[in-house]
Structure formats: C-alpha cells, structure tokens
Chains A and B, each alone.
Chain A
Amino acid sequence: MSFRLSYRADPGNPWFSWQYVRDNSDTIVAALRDHASLTARAVLIAALVALPLAVAAHWFRPLAGPILAFTGVLYTIPSLALFAFLAPYLGIGAVTVLSVVVLYALLVIVRNTVAGLSQVPPEVREAAEGMGYGRWGRLLRIELPLALPGILTGLRLATVSTVALVTVGVVVGRGGLGQLIFAGFQNNFYKAEIMTGTLLCVLLALVLDLVLAGLGRAVTPWLRGRAR
C-alpha cells in the first residue's frame, strides 16, 4: 500500500520507501539499538533511585511532601533547558542524555510507587504487624508486592515517555532514532528517513509497553482473575 500511495504523492520524495530501509539498514539498526539501550538503562537507573525514594516517602511522612515537590519541579523544567544545564558540565554524549531522561522518569515512578504503597489496606498492614513482621519484612513481603500494580504502571508510563524523550538527545548528538529524524530533516527533508525513525520510535514504545505489561501479569498472578 505504501508503494502506491507514496508513488502518487511524490515519486521523488516518498513518505516511506523500502529502498531506503534496505540501503541504510546498518544505520537504522544502530540507531534503534542505541535508542533501546538508552531507554533500558535510563528506566533501570530511574527505578533503582525512585524505589528507595518512594519507600522513604512512605515511611517518613514529613519527607513525602518535599520528595514529591522536588520531583515535580524537575518535571516542570523543559527538557531542552535540562540538557542546557547539564551539557556544559557532562559534555556531549550518552551521559548527558541518560541524566536528563532519568530525572524525568523519576517523578512518574516515585509518584506511582507512593500511590501504590499508600493503597495497601490498613487491615493488611495490621495483620502483618500482628504476625510479627518487622518494618523491613513487612515492606518486602507484604507492602511492595501489593504495590506492584502501581509500580508497574509507573514503569510503563516512564518507559513510554522515555522512548519519546530520548529523541531530544539530538541536541547533544545522541538521540538514538531522533538522530534519524533530525538527519532526515536536515538532509533536504528526506521524508522516508524521518518516517522510518518516527515509526520505529512509536513501535519501540509499544513493544516495551507490551513487554512490561506481560511482565506485570507474570509477577501479579493473584490479579489475573480480577482484571476484567
């Protein structure tokens, strides 16, 4: 279908062309791999930082306000400004991109984890206490498992928005698939290159979202009957 449509629209500069994909498969695969690895690392780091923060906010109520406010302010700062603040210090490259997207993913994961932890019914908490669970045992065996749906929602939202955000990394030359999109724009508006980058970006977000959704189903078997 794309052949005929693109042929009619403009034979010289189609929106999509297999020819382009075949001829540049190396570049495309490299960009896709870079994008996926940046996303995976960013979400992993963000989760590792966000979970302790959320637990701290959950245990020590006075900390909850400042932690949520801090991540909220980070979220208000435009991505390009964050790149601008970090690039002169961290230089041009993957470290800067990673730092920026991690800061954005933090808010989403922290907020959803705190919400998940606070939704644990008080009876369950009291029952756990009555059974002799300490603070850590209760957290690891009772509260975190029950908060898993919230945590996974946070991870999924963070992953999808991170995939989109990584493209802004073109400003420091490491935008993954954004590199394709931007190069296509600069390269005499090469529509096929722009479209390929965009489609792969959206597909990557979709695939990662589905993978996380499947993972979520696998680790919360007790919710399966209730889901629908």
Chain B
Amino acid sequence: MSNPVGQAVLWLNDPLNWTNPGGILDRLGEHLGMSAAAVLLGCLVAWPVGLWLGHTGRGGGLVVLVSNVTLAIPTLALLTILPLTFLGFGRPAVVVALAVFAVPPLLANAYTGVRQTDPEARDAARGMGLSGGQVLRRVELPLAVPYLAAGFRTAAVQVVATAALASFVNGGGLGQIIRAGFGLDIAAGGGQIIAGGLLVAGLAMLVELVLALVERLVTPRPLRPARRRANRRAADAVAVAVAGS
C-alpha cells in the first residue's frame, strides 16, 4: 500500500475518520461555519460601500486600490497577525482575516453593477421624481443583482478555499486534516494528506456549483443573457484599471 491515492481511499473509507472528535464531519462544520461568517461580514462591509460608490460614480480608484493591495497581502500574514491584535486568538480573528479576502470581488462587482445601469433608465427614474436613494434602491440595485450574485459566488469560493489555511494557526476547518497529515511522516501521512486535499477541493467545487445555480435563480429572466458576462466584465474592469495604474 505504498500508493498514496490508495491510502487516501482507505483513509476516507474508515468511518471513524469521519465521526471521531476532530474528524471530517467536525472539520466540515467548522469550515462552513467560519466561511459563512466571513462571507457575511464581507457582504456587510463591501456591498453598502460598493453600491454607494457606484451610485455617486466616485471612488473607482479606491475599488482598484483595495483589490490590488489585498492581492499583495499574504493570507498567512493576516492569519498570524490578527490574533495578536485586540481580536485575540480564536474564531473572530480567523473570520476577519478571511473576510478581508472576500471584500475585493464583492466591492468590485457591486461598484460595476451599479455603474453599468443604463443611464437612460436612471434618467427616466429621476424624471419620474425618484430621489437619489430611491433610484439606488428601486432601479440600480435590482439591475445590479446579477453582478452582486457573481461577486458573491467569487467571494464565497475564494473564502472556502482560503479557509483551509486557517489550519496554520490551528483555526480549525478541513485544512487541519492536511496539516495533521504533514505532521506525520510523508510516507505515513501521504494518504491522509491527499484525502484532506480531496475534501478541501471537493468542497470548493461544490460551493462553486451550488452558487452558480443560485446565481442563475436570483437573476431575473430578462437580465440572464448579461449574467455570464457580469463576472468577467468586473474582472476586466479591475484588470484594465491595474494596467492603467
């Protein structure tokens, strides 16, 4: 049984590895719990700011700056630094660290979503006597839903993927299984390492698929053709802005 993949299958087939304390089910719960909290926190921060910036049409530079800066910050650094601040050790620090990486896609898509609304629709709403806040709520926000959904999906998949790194600071999650495998000798732990990798990768793919479905469901039918382009356009906007910076 020197084949690591065979060992991984063996490891996954042991029911105790699933149900033990600190087993797969426990870790899965932790992983999903902290990911959900991080995405929620990211949404609470990024969406209002992104929608408002998009509504006023200012702050495009800020959106680009945020995504550039977070791209350069290593996840490991945030995960190790935040527990040493006032947040203290434990779940809150990990959630905040993960939320930081959820912000750029949420922010960029919220901003782009509002910016891309047809100016004629906006003018028509104004002509009907809607105030600025009403235009945002009744016209721009509904039209931005495909973008918000695309940003949510990108952010959630990224957070679920990044949450595996919480294991570096003993923050729990499925990454813990991989780390434990590396803690063993590589010949002995190879199976567990690959099994953990399969679980983490499988979860990320599953989240991606489920959210793609959700994205489709929340997008009103008339907006659906634009749906697939939404994510890419926001990404392009950032990429182009990076090139110009």
Give a binary string over A200-228; 1 marks a CB under 8 Å from any B CB, 0 the rest.
Answer: 01100110010000000000000000010
Which of A88, A161, A178, A189 is B190 in contact with, Cβ under 8 Å? Answer: A88
A149 and B236 CA atoms in complex are apart in Å by 13
Is A157 at the interface (CB under 8 A from chain B)? yes
A81 and B73 CA atoms in complex are apart in Å by 20
- Expressed in whole angstroms, the minimum distance between the Cβ of A200 and any Cβ of chain B is 10
- Chain A interface: which of B18-26, B140-148, B193-201, B215-223? B193-201
**Beta-carbon contact of A88 and B80 below 8 Å:** no
- Chain A interface: which of B117-125, B126-134, B156-164? B156-164
**Beta-carbon contact of B4 and A88 below 8 Å:** yes
**Beta-carbon contact of A168 and B204 below 8 Å:** no
Q: A172 — which chain B residues lie within 8 A by C-beta? A: 182
Number of interface residues of B (CB under 8 A): 45
A222 and B83 CA atoms in complex are apart in Å by 49
Is A142 at the interface (CB under 8 A from chain B)? no
**Beta-carbon contact of A160 and B243 below 8 Å:** no
Residue among B76, B160, B205 with most chain A CB within 10 A: B76
Residues 98-125 of A contacting B (Cβ, < 8 Å): 112, 115
Q: A128 — which chain B residues lie within 8 A by C-beta? A: none
**Beta-carbon contact of B81 and A195 below 8 Å:** yes
The A interface is mostly helix, strand or loop, or mixed, namely helix
Q: A171 — which chain B residues lie within 8 A by C-beta? A: 168, 178-179, 182
**Beta-carbon contact of B194 and A84 below 8 Å:** yes
**Beta-carbon contact of B197 and A82 below 8 Å:** yes
Which of A149, A163, A168 is B72 in contact with, Cβ under 8 Å? Answer: A163
Which positions in B face A, CB cutoff 8 Å? Answer: 4, 68, 71-77, 80-81, 83-84, 157, 160-162, 164-165, 167-169, 175, 178-179, 181-182, 186, 190, 193-194, 196-198, 200-201, 204-205, 208, 236, 239-240, 242-244
The 27 sampled A-B contact pairs (Cβ below 8 Å) are: A76-B205, A77-B161, A77-B204, A79-B165, A81-B161, A81-B201, A84-B181, A84-B196, A85-B201, A88-B186, A88-B194, A152-B243, A153-B240, A160-B68, A163-B74, A165-B74, A167-B74, A168-B75, A170-B168, A171-B178, A181-B80, A185-B80, A194-B84, A195-B81, A201-B77, A205-B72, A209-B72
